[in-house]
Chain A
Amino acid sequence: MDRLRVLGFSVFEPTVNMALDEAIAEAVGSAKSPPTLRFYGWSPSAVSIGYFQEIHEEVDLEFCHSNGIEVVRRITGGGAVIHTKGELTYSFTVCDKDPAVPQDIQGSYMRICAPIVSALRGLGADAVFAPINDIEVGGKKISGNAQTRRFGAVLQHGTILIDLERGMLRALKVKREKLQDRGADSVGNRLITLKEILGRDLRPGEVSGAIAKEFKKHFKCKVEYGKASPIELCRVPAIAERHKSIDWLFRR
């Protein structure tokens, strides 16, 4: 990986976000686009559930409906995530043959999370990578990450909590066993935000800029701010349509 395209923070509809990550992975995997780091937000707010999750087990659909929260199913495994104001999402996509990212999954999570950990530390949060796929500060989760390998690409996307509308956490039905396993008694107690750690508001661009700089250092590559390509954008409507379908959303 000698250069990295960065797509700066933009806010999109939930299914467009999912479609863009997928369209970029298709293009990167077929060498039509360079390795890419994208930052995004969600409007309206959304819950994203993992590929293998059962929607009724994870999401309070009534609460989501009455609070204008959409639900999408990711193409990546992992758990349910709430994407509200103050939450920063990133996606990193690289060709699956690129030696910059290890073939083994655990090693590749660590490799891709390392620049994010460094960026959070640079901002003043005492962040550490917490296997399998989290980043924590003081034992609480500030970032969750999920990976897939498709289309000839490795796609990892993840969430970084700059701030959190805690009232919205009711959208998630989190199992008690999972919380106990982590020594927390509610979802909220298990999470921490940059705003809580640093005692100040941060703009998404401040955090994404810090992360992009660390990717440049960690991967020793050039960073070029860019845009989605026409090939990628052309694919978005069809992929978003699939993500909107009942078949996809309720498939498990």
Chain B
Amino acid sequence: MEKVSLRKVKGGKFVKVKVSSDGGYITDAKITGDFFAHPEDAFEQLEKELKGIPVDRVRATVESALGGIVLVGLSKEDLIEMIEECLE
């Protein structure tokens, strides 16, 4: 099942999260938008790490993949909420 969550972060940027899941596991995830992240390739790593995790591991995975990454225009909390919305 594929679901999309869209958000214009207040005082921040546009974020689109697309997550596919099957039987309680994430099978694919894509995060796009006009935000900034430094370094940028942390998001490719995050998308890779999200694949295959059980849905209750979202927070831990985002927090570890984006640890030390500077986000501008969105927060880790925004991302966690949006991914979880896709899994509801």
Interface residues of A (CB under 8 A from B): 50-54, 57, 75-80, 105-106, 132-133, 146-150, 175, 177-178, 181, 252
The A/B interface has a contact count, at CB < 8 Å, of: 62
User: Given the complex of chains A and B, what is the CA–CA distance between A101 and B18 in angstroms?
Assistant: 36
**Listed A/B pairs (11) with beta-carbon separation below 8 Å:** A52-B37, A77-B35, A78-B36, A79-B13, A79-B14, A105-B36, A105-B38, A132-B12, A132-B13, A133-B36, A148-B40
The answer to whether B70 has its CB under 8 Å from any CB of chain A is yes
The minimal Cβ–Cβ distance linking A212 to chain B, given in whole angstroms, is 26
The minimal Cβ–Cβ distance linking B29 to chain A, given in whole angstroms, is 12
Residues in A with CB closer than 8 Å to B31 are 52
User: Given the complex of chains A and B, what is the CA–CA distance between A149 and B34 in angstroms?
Assistant: 17
Residues in A with CB closer than 8 Å to B34 are 50, 52-53, 77-80
Q: Report whether over half of chain A's contact residues are helix, strand or loop; otherwise say mixed.
A: loop
The answer to whether B32 has its CB under 8 Å from any CB of chain A is yes
Interface residues of B (CB under 8 A from A): 6, 8, 12-14, 16, 30-40, 43, 70, 72-73
Contact A52 B72 (CB under 8 A): no
* Given A77-B72, A105-B70, also A51-B40 (CB < 8 A): yes
Residues in A with CB closer than 8 Å to B16 are 54, 57
Out of A52, A79, A106, A181, name the residue touching B40 (CB < 8 Å): A52
Residues in B with CB closer than 8 Å to A105 are 36, 38, 70, 72
* Given A52-B31, A132-B12, also A75-B36 (CB < 8 A): no
